[in-house]
Amino acid sequence: MSENTCEICEKSIPRYKCPVCFIKFCCVECYKSHKESGQCVKKEDKSDLKLVAKNGEVQNYEFETEDTVKPEKLNLLAFHKGVRHSLENRHLRDMLEYLDSAQDPA
């Protein structure tokens, strides 16, 4: 099975991920089949890392997916000139704040 194939039917291109176990699926039918199979289990945390917030407070940081960026790399962004310049754009800041406050960040 390749990364570009639904992990349930193994036929179509996956468009979605299960919010619990992150398995990739292509449609509602595959999602329902996955849920009914009883194999939907939350993945174990790969690593507990520390992330320093703006106020200097250390927060626990857990990897949830393979797409998660390590906190060390995120902290480097605070000093990147290109990122700082981009954040001068009010529209971009508003959009990032909206995404950060979303109920379902997935």
Query: What average pLDDT does the segment 29-35 reach?
Result: 92
Look at the chain and report how many structural domains it folds into. Answer: 2
Q: In whole angstroms, what is the distance from residue 42 CA to residue 20 CA?
A: 5
Examine residue 63 and state whether it is found in any structural domain, yes or no. no
pLDDT (tens digit, 9 = 90+) per residue, 84-94? 899 899 999 99
What phi-psi label fits residue 22: left (phi over 0), alpha (psi between -120 and 50 degrees) or beta? left
User: Is 55's pLDDT higher than 60?
Assistant: no
Query: If DSSP codes are grouped into helix, strand and coil, which group holds residue 99?
Result: helix
CA atoms within 13 Å, Cβ hemisphere of 106 = 10
Q: Is residue 95 part of a domain?
A: yes
Is residue 53 situated within a structural domain?
no
HSE-up of residue 97 (Cα within 13 Å, Cβ side) = 7
Per residue in 65-80, pLDDT tens? 677 777 778 788 888 8
97 lies in which domain range? 68-105
pTM for this entry: 0.40
